[in-house]
Homo-oligomer: A and B are copies of this chain.
Amino acid sequence: MELASLFSPRSIALIGASANKAKLGWQILNKLRQSHLPIFPINPHESQIANTRAYPSILDVPDPVDLAIVVVPAPIVNVVVKQAAEKKVKSIVVISAGFSETGPQGKKLEIVLKKLCRKQQINLLGPNVLGFANPAKKLDITFAKTAPMPGNIGLISQSGAIGAYLFDWAKSENLGFSKFVSLGNRAGLTETDFLTFLSADPDTKVIGLYLESFADGQKFLSITSRLSRKKPIVAIFGGQSPVGKQAVLSHTAALSPETAVIKTALAQAGCIQADNLEAFTDLLEIFSLEPPLIDNDLVIVTNAGGPGILAADKADAVRLKVERPTDVRGDALAEQFNTAFRQVIKDKIKDAFLIILTPQTMTQLELTCQAVVKQFKHIKKPIVVSLLGGEITAKAKEILRKNRIATIDFPQKAVDYLSILFQYWHNRLKQTAYPVRQSSLIKVPGLRLQPGQQTWQQIKILAKAYHLPLVATKIVKENSLLQLIKEFGFPLVLKADPTEALHRTEKKALFLNLNSAKTVQKYFNQLKSRFTTILIQPQIRSGHELFIGVKRPPSFPPLLTIGSGGIYTEIYQDVGHTFLPVNKTSALKLLAQTKLGQILQGARGLPPTNLRPVIDLILNVSQLALNFPQIEEININPAIINQNKVDIVDIKISAYEETPRRL
């Protein structure tokens, strides 16, 4: 997608330009004129707007037009877009609202608009867009009080207000933006188009991404997982709570996905996840200002014992290497700091520096910051200054900002951000591109699924085909009971078929630890009175319980979840997620994310378990899910892991009631 015509157009038509100062058509015209580009106001009722010649339609413009910006009311948007297409514009931005965010009527208009632009191969941004900008070209169609200054942050946002806030913040911090785009309804261009563009844009050093939904999950994974190796992408996601999801729906007409999907998608795409707006903001500052940090040897210099200790504690917690802080003492003058700076810089092994400054009687705030600038500005290693205090520190902060040295108010936060900087640069080339090449390639033709829950009989056939090691389980009838007791031995388990009781504990459809023929008979009778198909299996006595599940979140590939099984699944929330497919390497990585994986690998002096059967099981379950797009959900809980084998105690598989969905 060629987005130069959007961000660096040679000429712009504003369709819906207005002479009425209260109207958006006037405000935007005014903003466009700052770019010194040829601007063509379009308005059928005016021949001149604000000293510029206006045209009745874009088709009347004598010169070629790269970009059309549309602010006319929704019902006539498609009319003017058709004309713009005829005029061969390359990009169209539809600012106008009144589309899918308003209901089915608007949705219809949006579909027409989308098809129109796609057919003509026009870049469509919008509709319902809250601004975009290329500050270096003085192109600024934003609705913020403070215009975005030029700089190296590329910002993609599903919220215009996030832009308004960041522009003003960045100006105060002497930072700026390479490009800004608010995504709107994403009928044409989406976040992946802008991520692709910005990651190749030489003016962009770091990308900020605020999302409330993914335009296309699968595409996001495969594109972003490659781009994130090139440039840091700092991401924040709104709408994870029930109330937040409701608000998203009214805000951008989009459904916010579940938290596990969001976190897994951002992680698998290699994004740096910011938990809150403050971390998002500060991380953009850090990545905008700092050079790469490949190793983790941190130096702390401070005139404050307490804050230095807190920073050292934090460094330990986030696994940065740090020695005892260099404490120049509370009465240190700038010269003492300077000497300490020279000393620590000499040590070529050190990778990053944190200076903590508190305003004590003797402290020379400005002079000390000048010393910081002089000593650190040219050494090309990350340096962050924490200037603790209020107004008294303002001038000193200004010195640092002017010289593009990062200031983070609190030392513990500064340490946290440096560790994130380190993690990104240290690991970025290990980032795995999605999708990985599959390891298991089982294909068994002729297998069929019924809609809804599968019976145990059907599960058995699938399990055999996909080498899933089910515990010997049989359907038991009155007349075969004794025979099966003899065959299996004690202890035994009785349970109803999954189609009859999905949640067996709640439905009293499961009896464990049956140790005599009498109790087996008793519970068999009990089950028989309520259920048709009763299953019997030997009870596995010991081993680690594993959970494996597969779900299909909308617009994403199947999501595989593994973790501690049995009652531990929900209580400990010890789970790891990944989108399918998986291979041996990614399955091992996934397992290692869980505490169960650490136990299996031999934590606490226990002998490590042979992981081969566990990995095979994960791969084969994944293959099963991928081969049958009609599978809605698979739940294996528990599979029991012992030294050299795995036994699946229970599997549930459900299929969609209707036609299979797109994989």
Contact = CB atoms under 8 A, between A and B. Distances in A.
Contact of A278 (B308, B331, B412): B412
Contacts of A390: 146, 168-173
29 contacts: A144-B361, A158-B306, A159-B306, A160-B305, A160-B330, A161-B304, A161-B307, A161-B360, A162-B306, A164-B359, A164-B360, A165-B358, A169-B389, A171-B392, A236-B310, A238-B310, A241-B315, A243-B316, A243-B322, A243-B323, A244-B312, A244-B313, A247-B308, A247-B324, A248-B309, A251-B306, A252-B305, A503-B605, A567-B604
Contacts of A310: 236, 238, 244, 276-277
A143 interface: yes
A401 to B, nearest CB: 11
B363 A505 contact: no
Given A146-B389, A168-B392, A241 B312 contact: yes
Contact of A324 (B145, B246, B316, B330): B246
Contact of A165 (B322, B359, B541, B599): B359
A363 B599 CA distance: 56
A308 B162 CA distance: 10
A243 B324 contact: yes
B567 A307 contact: no
Contacts of A170: 390
A505 B413 contact: no
Interface of A: 27, 130, 143-146, 157-162, 164-165, 168-173, 210, 212, 236, 238-244, 246-248, 250-252, 276-278, 303-310, 312-317, 322-325, 327, 330-331, 358-361, 363, 365, 388-393, 409-413, 503, 505-506, 513, 541-542, 567, 570-572, 574, 595, 598-599, 603-606
This chain: how many copies in the complex? 2
A410 B277 contact: yes
Contacts of A323: 243
A620 B247 CA distance: 53
Contact of A606 (B278, B409, B505): B505
Contact of A604 (B168, B312, B413, B570): B570
A59 B168 CA distance: 63
A409 B309 contact: no
B391 A172 contact: yes
Nearest to A308: B247
Given A144-B360, A212-B309, A276-B310, A241 B316 contact: yes
